[in-house]
Each structure stands twice: as structure tokens, then as C-alpha cells.
Amino acid sequence: MKRLAVLVLLLPALVSAAGISTGDTSRRALSKAMEELDDAQRERFASGRGLFDQMWVIAPSTDEAVDGLGPVYNRISCVACHPGNGRGRAPDAESEEMRSMLVRLSIPGVGEHGGPLPHPAYGEQLNEQGVPGVPGEGRIAVKYQDIPLFLHGGTGVTLRKPSLVWREAHYGTPDGVLTSARIGPALVGMGLLEAVPEAEILKWADPDDKNQDGISGRANTVWDAAVQQNALGRFGLKANVATLRQQIAGAFIGDLGITSPLFPHENCSMAETACARTVNGGNPELSAVQLDDITFYHQTLAIPERRQRDTAQVQRGQQLFQQAQCAACHRPMLYTAANAKPDLLSQRIIEPYSDLLLHDMGEPLADGRPDFAANGYEWRTPPLWGIGLAEAVGDQVHYLHDGRARNLLEAIVWHRGEAAASQQAVWAMTVEDREALLAFLRSL
Amino acid sequence: MKSFAQWFGILLLASTGSSFAEDLTVMTSYPEDVVSRFEEAFEKAHPDIHVQILWRMPHDALPYLLQPQQGGVDVYWTPSQGNFLALKNAKALGPIGIDRSGLPDKIGTALISDPDGLYLANETAGYGMVVDPDKLGKLGVAEPKRWQDLADPRLQGEVALPVPSGVGFAPMLIDQLLQAEGWEKGWNTWRAIALNSKLIDKRGNAITDEVSSGRAAVGLTMDFFAASNVASGGKGKFIYPLKTAFNPAQIGITASTTHRPAAETFVSFILSEEGQSLLFHPAIRKLPVRPSVYSKAPEGYTNPFTLGIDARYDPVPGLARSGFNSALFDAAITRRQDALLKAWASVRKAENGASPSEQPLLQQARTALEALPVAEPTADSPLVKACEQRRKNTSAETQCAAAEREWDAFFTAHYADAQRLADTVLAARQGKAP
């Protein structure tokens, strides 16, 4: 609270998240509109929600506004990977399909504008599905090796270490490919994260660990396709996307095969000739208005209010979170800029529990796949707001970038690299303290 | 990278270029909440069959499925009785050789599956009202029991009414009342309800949102929208009126499938105890057609086999005239709700304390407000067929649009007449010229 007091003194115009947050704790807790929306904004929100829930259609179709799925794709709707705007999950067994998970691909080297170098036959993402007449690209399964551990106090945890296995490869052997599996992340608060001033994020960066706390934090510099220049990356698991609009357009082309004003070309590689011959759903398939509406939807989803903030256990957990230095990366409090759009996002104090920076998370979590300035060990600190509602929103949820963790404790135990000291602190806690820490996380 | 690879075991090239599962193409219009849960459960039970979902709304699906070889689709699974009838007539559906024991053909007197077995019901859903009891209480209105109760003037602006030309489930909602009350009386009830209504022309769940968010006290909707909203933590209570309709959804196998055993496995799964129980999920909440599974239903779940309400409805004429009804609704209500509302307000004001000499004019005004440009059509009427085909061919569109223009002129003139008559009475009462 001390930091909040300082912020409020320094920036007296800031206001809390009242009016843009929700106390809903139901299955739909992450799907509510911000209360402050006016009628016209609610219409726009509903339109964006419709596109998010839309099951996209293969072209040609009489429903021209929603056709253009594929030719290769992963799932047919956004909501398939982000159920209720919450988290996806990893397959639990090698025989299971990836339903809300995908695999990024690249080959060693640097691609256009400094990003990953796409695989010549498979592109930047494995698209398992193809429209009729176009083969899907193949299938990668996940195998697990169980690692049983005992934390201080006797708490048993069994981590599952994933390996990716190519099961089918329809466009040639994918030799030398770099892979990175990702589950769909929760989607609340994206507009507010975009509204955090760049200077505020950079101020927190400590790439050379000058304060010698063992935690650095680097900003990613990425290509902004809209303005055709480099920009600070703040979205995506490696902070590899500059803007929310581009993040959404990227998901449309990467996951659904839907072109947009930002990515107007179908995702067919040179090897995918049937893909290139397929009828499209317009040029682009997602109009600028549709892209703006779905961006607005994500900007204005209400953020969940903290729960049980005043209970002794949660307060103890919050202290432990600070003591274990979790807050050095999972930064509790940020503020948004005065000129943020839409207006209702401006000058807010927010509690995302992220610094939006890259951190080396150590070998166990590394994917070995660079992405702009992020190396194969680095990940952007994922925001924790709403994480305590994950199980209320989804039937079965997993944690960490590839869903290997089945609960929050497993997720903590996987932390290494810059987070090793925090992980060790949690490891060494009494059972009661660890429960308090988890209660605090569930209150977010 | 050596140590990285040791820790992670990054990528094993187990095998390439081979396919392990038989592909089964299923066309549906169900939303993700339904599709993903069935898909996942089916693939767990039958990992040897990979389901590919092709998604199309019913109007878009029918031309696709009428292509040669049904466009490669093996199974059609959707709430669209009209499409199943059309596909059966076009001989685009094949036999379903599965065990049908425990699956009745009817709910009450309503047939839900094809008598020839070419398509089978897989779930059903009923029409009714989602209400906010607290808001009704504040308005001093009892919970409605009949559709007609929604015409209560105290519900002004508090009813969310789906527009049949814009909301997929609404044509049958509109038609069930026309069948239950008769053509003219039914249309007058809809116009009376429309006086209190906000018209909703978006997805079905927008209706429950209106009530759940407090923007409306009542919404006309289907049971599963309300039930899944409540099961997911939303606000509202669903009420079946004394007379309503249930709309079955069906599943069929295409005539041209080359994966018939896999298709039959899929249909069997959807209709199995396991598949039918998935309908109880809080995000779905549709009504199973296998009566035995209701013993496992969540508390308070509706069982249409034991509900005992009057749900007589003949979908065949209703489906045939849904485009016609929608066009008439748009002319009478969607495009003229303001004029209708204003005219009725003036008539009611004039009726308040009206003298015997004023009654004839006011009766004329009422007659104008309740007039209809067309009598109940028969299913084979050329205009009914044209309105049903309007999305598919230009001449049908021209014919139906021409009728709509005539209806527009009719309602404009009649609502204006009613307004003028009421204004005349009011002006005369105040000693002014109208």
C-alpha cells in the first residue's frame, strides 16, 4: 500500500479501477463489459464479443462477414483457445489433440524485421487443420515425464516435464525446426496494459542488474506492422507484439487463417500449393471495422476485483509474495497514461502483477526459440490479475506458457533463472505460509 | 543448447507422414460451448476417429449440403428442422443404422425425429421468458404466466423481444403463438407485446444479457440461454408459459458419406447416455432426448417428458412460412415500432373518459392499429415460397421485397390513420382543430 500512497501523491489525478472492474466470480467473470461504457460503446463491445465467439466459416459463404477460415488453421473460433476469455490447457496425454494450445515454429536465424525466421514449409505456427481439399500441416503431440518432488514440510508435488513429438508432418520432415508450445492465455486487462506509458515500463527495466538483486528485466523491441517501425513489445508470451490490435490480427491469421488489414496475405507457405489455390473470403477477410470492434471488446473487458483482500491469510500471503521477491517481476501496481484511449482507460491505478518485461526463467522453462530480442530462456512476466478465477471460468485449466503446470503451486515450482531465489523461498516455506501465498494468488 | 535439450527433451521425431485417425467431417451451427465438449469427449472415447468441424448457419449450410457428395460432409448436426426436411426431400440423407432403443420419437404429441429414421433428435429446447423477479417486484408486476401477460403497460420498455429476421431462434417463437392463438389474434398479441419491448436483432444470448444486466425485466428466449446463464452465475429465472413450443435439434448422416461406420459411431455417441449427459453442462443446459439420463440431471433441471405443458406445435407449416412471418413482423413492428407506440399512446389517452360520440372514431383507430394486410397464408402460397427462398434467388427476393413494400405502405397508412383519429378526438375534446 506504501507504493500506492506514493503514486497517489505524485499523480493526484489518478483514479482506481472502480467502474472498469467487476466483482463477478462466476464462469463469466472474465467476460463482463466495463460498467462505464455508454450505450454506443456497449453496442461496439457486443459486436466485438460476437466476433470473438464466432465460429468462422469456410469461403465462399452467404455469410460473407464471417467467412475465410483457413486454408490452414488451428481452431475455428477465438473462444476455443480462450474459453470465457480465460486460459486454455495442454493435452493431458499423447493421444489427445491440442485444443487450446498451439506450437510456434521457426528455424535458426532472424526473419524479416528481426523476428523469428519462419520454417520454409510450415511457416511460424503449426496449423493442424486444413479446409476440405487442403491437408492440415501435421500434428505434434505432448508427452510427459513425471518428476515427483517434496517441498519443505513434506508437501508433495509431481511436475510433468513435457516433450513435443511430431506425429504427422504433411509437408516434409521438419528438420532443424525450433518449437514453442503455448496455451491460450487469459485475456482481461489488455487495453489497460496497452495504456501503461512506455517510460513506466522502461523505468522498471534493469537489463544489467545494476541493483544486484539477481533480477534484470529487459524490454523487447519488436516490429509494429501498423506503423512499419520498431516499438516496445508488450503483448504475447515473449512481449513479441507491440499493440493489442496487432496481437489480435496476428491471432486471426496465425490461429484461424483469417486475413486482416494488418496481415493481408494467407498463411500458405511455398510448399502448400493447395492452400494457395483455395478461394478466400475477401481481401482482407476481417475488415478494419471488425478488427477495431474486437480490439475494443478486449480493451473494455472488465478486470476482476480483488477478493478477500482483508482476510488474515490473504494479507499474510501478500507479505510472503513481497518477501519472496515475486513482486520484483510480478509488479503489483502500474498506472495508465493520461492520453490513453478509450478515455475510460486513462489515468488509472491498476494491479496487473506484471512488469511487461522479459526475464530469464531458466532452463526448465526455456523453449530455445528466440523471438526478436527475447532469447530462448526469456519470457514476459505474465499478468496475474484474474488468475484466482481461472478455475471458476474454465472446466480444466493449466498454467505456464505450455500448460505443464496443473495448479499454481506446480507453476511456482517450475520457476528458475531470475526467479530461482523466489522459487527457493517458496520451497522453504512452512505448509501454512505456502497456503497463505496460494490464498493470496487466488484472491487476485 | 545441449543442456537445454537434456532438460526439455525438445523434440522427438516419432514418425512423419502417417495419419492415425479416420477423418470424419461434421457440419454444425452449434456454438463452441457445445461443439468443443462433444468433440473432446468423442475423441477421448474414439481416438481412432478425428472429427473435423465445418461450421455454418442453417441458411448457409443447406446450399453447401445440397452440393454433389454433400460437399464432403459426413454428418449434419444442428438445430434446423427445416434443413433436415429439405435434405430428406433432396435425398441427401442416408440411413442411420444405430441402436435406437431408449430414444422416443415424440415428446408429448410432438414428433421430434424423422418417422423414416433419416434424422434423429439429439436435444430439444423450449421457448419462454427469462425474468428478473426483483425488477418485476419493483414494477408491481406478477411473474408472467402467458405470453399475453407481457402486454401489461407497467412493463413499458422492460421486455427484450427478438426480431425474427435477425435472431435465429425467433421465427418459431413468433409462429408458435400464431398457431396457438390464430393468425389475427396472434399478430395483435405480438404488436401489444412490442409496445413494451426493446427489439433485439443480435445473437440469442443478447436477450439474457438484457435481463441479467438489469436493462430489461423480461426477455423472450429459449430455455438453455437462460439456464446456462443462471448456471454460470448470471441473474434471472426462466418461465415456460402455459402454451409454448419445443424446438428439437437433429442429427443425420449424409447419403454420400464414405465414412458411414465412423459417422454412425459419432451419432451413437451423441445419443448415448454419455453424450446426452454432456447437455447438462452449465455452459450448455439443453434438454436431452434420452429420458433415462434425467435421473442424473442437476437439481431443478427441466424434463420436457414430464413437464406437462401445452406444447402442441406443427413445425412443417411454421418452417415454410418463417421468412414470410419475419418480413411481416419487420413491416408491422421492426420498422414502425415508434409509430405504433405513439399511435397506441394517443388512442389510449383518447379512450380515457371518452364520450359515446367519440367511441366510433376510437373503434376505427383500434381497427386501423390491428389491421393486417394479409390473411393467414397456406404453406404452398407463392409468396410464402418466395419469402422462404429470398436469400437464395433474385426473383424470389424481388417478389418478397415487393410484398414488403406493400406491407410497409399498408402499416404506415393504418398507423397514421389511427394517430389522426385519436388526435382528432383529443383536439375536439379541447376545442381545437386537430
Strands across the sheet containing A101-110: A116-117, A101-110, A178-183
Q: How many CA atoms lie within 13 A of A398 on its CB side?
A: 22
Residues of B in contact with A53 (CB under 8 A): 31-32, 203
**Contact state of B32 with A83 under an 8 Å Cβ cutoff:** yes
A222-258 pLDDT, tens digit each: 999 999 999 999 999 999 999 999 999 999 999 999 9
Task: pLDDT band for B213, please (50, 70, 90 cuts).
Answer: confident
Report the DSSP beta bridge partners of residue A304: A22
Any B CB within 8 A of A129 CB: yes
Query: Residue B316's pLDDT is what?
Result: 87
Distance (Å, whole) CA B58 – CA B78: 8
Residue B19 pLDDT exceeds 80? no
Q: Which bin fits B197, alpha (ψ -120 to 50), beta or left (φ > 0)?
A: beta
Mean per-residue pLDDT for B129-145?
97
Query: Residue B3's pLDDT is what?
Result: 42
Interface of B with A in 354-393 (CB under 8 A): 391
| Cβ contact B163:B250 at 8 Å | no
Q: pTM, whole model, 2 decimals?
A: 0.91
Distance (Å, whole) CA B199 – CA B348: 22
Residue B203 pLDDT exceeds 70? no
Task: pLDDT band for B233, please (50, 70, 90 cuts).
Answer: confident
Any B CB within 8 A of A39 CB: no
B60-94 pLDDT, tens digit each: 999 999 999 999 999 999 999 999 999 999 999 99
Q: Nearest residue of B to residue A177 by CA position? A: B11
Phi and psi angles of residue A312, each rounded to the nearest 5 degrees, phi first? -60, -40
| Cβ contact B10:B39 at 8 Å | no
Task: pLDDT band for B4, please (50, 70, 90 cuts).
Answer: very low
Phi and psi angles of residue A35, each rounded to the nearest 5 degrees, phi first? -60, -30
- Strands B287-288 and B237-239, bridge-based pairing: unpaired
| Cβ contact A361:A415 at 8 Å | yes
Higher-pLDDT residue of A62 and B206 is: A62
Residue A421 pLDDT exceeds 90? yes
Query: Residue B14's pLDDT is what?
Result: 46
Smallest CA–CA separation between B422 and chain A, in Å?
34
Q: Nearest residue of A to residue B200 by CA position? A: A43
Report the DSSP beta bridge partners of residue A116: A110
Mean per-residue pLDDT for A56-64?
95
Any B CB within 8 A of A364 CB: yes
Mean pLDDT of chain B: 92
- Amino acid identity at B34: V
A161-174 pLDDT, tens digit each: 999 999 999 999 88
**Contact state of B52 with A129 under an 8 Å Cβ cutoff:** yes
A110-149 pLDDT, tens digit each: 998 999 999 999 999 999 999 999 999 999 999 999 999 9
3-state secondary structure labels for all residues of A66-100: HECCCCEECCCCCCCCCHHHCCCCCCCCCCCCCCC
Closest CA to A219 of A197, A195, A198, A190: A198
| Cβ contact A189:A352 at 8 Å | yes
Residue percentage of chain A with pLDDT more than 90: 93
Residue A204 pLDDT exceeds 90? yes
Residue B1 pLDDT exceeds 50? no
| Cβ contact A319:A39 at 8 Å | no
Query: Residue A6's pLDDT is what?
Result: 53
A248-303 pLDDT, tens digit each: 999 999 999 999 999 999 999 989 999 999 999 999 999 999 999 999 999 999 99
| Cβ contact B230:B236 at 8 Å | yes
Between the alpha carbon of residue A164 and those of residues A167, B7, B8, B13, B50, the distances in Å are 9, 13, 9, 9, 20
Helix axes B394-429, B382-389, angle to 10 degrees: 110
Interface of B with A in 301-360 (CB under 8 A): none
Q: Which stretches within B156-272 are classed as H helix?
A: 170-181, 183-194, 205-212, 223-231, 260-271
Q: How many CA atoms lie within 13 A of A223 on its CB side?
A: 14
Query: Residue B21's pLDDT is what?
Result: 82
Mean pLDDT of chain A: 95
Query: Residue A10's pLDDT is what?
Result: 54
Q: For A170-295, list the strands marked E by DSSP.
A: 178-183, 220-224, 229-233
Q: Mean pLDDT lowest for which of A205-214, A373-382, B14-23?
A: B14-23
**Contact state of A96 with B19 under an 8 Å Cβ cutoff:** no
- Strands A156-169 and B11-13, bridge-based pairing: parallel
Higher-pLDDT residue of A3 and B367 is: B367
Residue B8 pLDDT exceeds 70? no
Residue percentage of chain B with pLDDT more than 90: 84
Any A CB within 8 A of B3 CB: yes
Residues in chain A: 444
Residue A166, C-beta contacts closer than 8 angstroms, at least 6 positions apart: A138, A139, A140, A174, B11, B12, B13, B14, B15, B16
**Contact state of B14 with A167 under an 8 Å Cβ cutoff:** yes
**Contact state of A55 with B19 under an 8 Å Cβ cutoff:** no
| Cβ contact A256:A276 at 8 Å | no
Task: pLDDT band for B15, please (50, 70, 90 cuts).
Answer: very low
Phi and psi angles of residue A86, each rounded to the nearest 5 degrees, phi first? -95, -160
**Contact state of B202 with A46 under an 8 Å Cβ cutoff:** yes
